[in-house]
Structure 1
């Protein structure tokens, strides 16, 4: 992964980071790297997630999905990190397998999706580390009932990823379901390169070994200076811009296949760094589509944004046919890829000309190895940023409060309901 932070320096952008400030910050990056390395070596909670490229068992993942190779559809039932990582992988990589994700409990959507699936050829992967996640288990029960009503033995079509204890583990043991262990010490949003995210890629026919090799490339690139490590360069620059006023980070990939990656990034960045009144708010955009919607705000609106531009250096291409339409001669002999690259570079130049800080991230291609490296490096960037902020990167107390409140409402906690209501007729 290549990271270019030149357009985020104070000489080019407002807000921007003075080069001297980055050099001073590098001493803190070195200390943070030592803390991260020690946490990885000791397998500490959260830091252990950065060991997953070395510790994930690709053979066990392939063995778990092997009974479902006859499937035409994979339905992943999970929420947050239990679904977004898998969705990122299968959306980025071409596949003949239709993959769907039940990561919400919207009853109309769930019913419509199940009505349109041939459940006899659908594999269901249920993912919950705790085995008690309300949304996941509710959706699982709905799908199980739908399979039974359709005359499908749900136990023949289901495998799980969960912790060593909990409702889901007990269910798997009772019905002899293939069961993968959720990785120890890795919060869900950091678990894409594990039994949480990789089974979807494996069943879709993608090279799990190469995904993990890309992650290991990222591990090998970790170093004690932001000037020597692309992941740390990005994390440190994002942090330094935030404390100077760029409190929004717009992730803008120039590849349709990486749109879900921007969703994954948004959860990782928000849930990890949004603590103690700190943290950069992630926004999602897609190049070139959102040049025609969001770019106006980024270029001419409040100076509170970092725009992260992401693209693959190599991609399949498609020529643009010649035309006799007036004014389109500049397209002659070109391709869609040429146009997309021109859009990318024009956006970058437009932001730079107006002094909006932006960072360019490039990967070799949207393939397994590059994707594994990208995912690992962004995780490492997030951990580094968390160290610089001084927050508890791997916890999510606000999320847990919301879960507890939802359970209370379902159990009839009227006082809580009244506290959350403000009705205007």
Structure 2
């Protein structure tokens, strides 16, 4: 993973950061790195996530998914970090089958998906550390019933990824289901490079060992300086720009296969850093699609955001055929990749032209190794930013509050008295 922050310096952007400020900030990065290294060495909660490339047992994952090797489809039931890391990998990489994710509780979507799936050839992967996550368990019960109604033995098609105790662990023991442990000390949004994120990819033939190797290389590249560590350069820059008024971070990959990556990063950043009035609002965009919609705001609206471009230097390509159509001479001899890259570079330049800070995150290609490095790098960047903000990066109290209220309402509790409702209806 490489980072180019030139278009976020104050010589180009407003808000922007000066080189002198980066020199001073680098001293804080060194201190933060020491804290991160201590946390990793002690396997502290959260910091343990950065140890995953050296500790995840890919052979154990392969063994657990072996009974499902004939699956043509994998249906993962989870939510948030229990689904987004895996979805990022399977959506981005070539697989031997299809991957679907039930990470919401929309009855129409659940029904439609189950109607369309051939459950006899579908592996069911249910993921919940506690085994009590309401959305996950509700969807799992619905899916399990669908298997039973179609006469398919769900116990022969199910993998469980869960904690050392709880409902799902008990269910796995009762029915002798293959089971993988959720790693200790790793919040869900940091679990992409663990059993949680790698198991669905392994079922579908992804080279999970390469993904872990890519992450390990990124781990080995961590130093105490933002000038030497791309992950820290990105984390420090997002922190610095937020303090200068860039309150949103638009994550804009220029590859369709990385669209889910932007969703994954949105959760990672929002849930980790959105505390005590701090943090940037992540915005998901896709190049070149959103050049024809959101770019109007980014170029002509308020300079209150950072745009993060994500780009691969190499990959498959398709030549554009010759045409007799008028006005398309400029496409002669070009490819779709050439056009995409030209649009990317033009958008990057257009934002620099109006002083909107933007950063280029580049990987070599969209493959397992590069994606593993990208995921790890962004996790390290987020942990570094949390140290600079001084927030509790690995907790999510606001999320837990909402979960508790939802459970109370389902259990028959009265609606919250302190919230006034204004309902407008059509006559």
Cα offsets for 1:338-370 (capped at 9, x unmatched): 000100100111011111100011100001110
Q: Does 1:372 align with 2:372?
A: yes
Q: What is the CA distance between 1:94 and its match in structure 2?
A: 1.3
Contact 1:408 1:416 (8 Å CA) reproduced: no
CA distance in 1 between counterparts of 2:418 and 2:36 reads 44
From the superposition, tell whether residues 417 and 55 of structure 1 become closer, same or farther in structure 2 (CA, over 3 Å): farther
Matches within 5 A, 1:79-98: 79-98=79-98
CA distance in 1 between counterparts of 2:366 and 2:75 reads 23
Q: What is the CA distance between 1:324 and its match in structure 2?
A: 1.0
2:50 equivalent in structure 1: 50
Cα offsets for 1:152-171 (capped at 9, x unmatched): 11111101100001111111
Contact 2:81 2:191 (8 Å CA) reproduced: yes
Q: What is the CA distance between 1:416 and its match in structure 2?
A: 2.3
From the superposition, tell whether residues 172 and 417 of structure 1 become closer, same or farther in structure 2 (CA, over 3 Å): farther
CA distance in 1 between counterparts of 2:336 and 2:417 reads 53
CA distance in 2 between counterparts of 1:120 and 1:421 reads 47
CA distance in 2 between counterparts of 1:376 and 1:351 reads 28
Matches within 5 A, 1:258-277: 258-277=258-277
Q: What is the CA distance between 1:208 and its match in structure 2?
A: 1.1
Matches within 5 A, 1:189-228: 189-228=189-228
Contact 2:211 2:369 (8 Å CA) reproduced: yes
Contact 1:65 1:203 (8 Å CA) reproduced: yes
Q: What is the CA distance between 1:120 and its match in structure 2?
A: 1.1
State the superposition RMSD in angstroms: 0.9
**Alignment TM-score, normalising by the size of structure 1:** 0.99
CA distance in 1 between counterparts of 2:107 and 2:286 reads 28
Q: What is the CA distance between 1:424 and its match in structure 2?
A: 3.3
Q: What is the CA distance between 1:22 and its match in structure 2?
A: 0.8
Q: Which runs of 5+ in 1 are unaligned?
A: none
CA distance in 1 between counterparts of 2:174 and 2:417 reads 37
SS of the residue 2:313 aligns to: strand
SS of the residue 2:394 aligns to: coil
CA distance in 2 between counterparts of 1:231 and 1:162 reads 30
Q: What is the CA distance between 1:423 and its match in structure 2?
A: 2.8
**Structure 1 consecutive aligned stretches of length 4 or more whose deviation exceeds 4 Å:** none
Matches within 5 A, 1:300-319: 300-319=300-319
Contact 2:409 2:415 (8 Å CA) reproduced: no
CA distance in 2 between counterparts of 1:353 and 1:363 reads 25
Q: What is the CA distance between 1:19 and its match in structure 2?
A: 0.9
2:386 equivalent in structure 1: 386
SS of the residue 2:283 aligns to: strand
1:144 equivalent in structure 2: 144
CA distance in 1 between counterparts of 2:161 and 2:155 reads 15
Q: Does 1:406 align with 2:406?
A: yes
CA distance in 2 between counterparts of 1:69 and 1:144 reads 20
Pairs aligned (count): 425
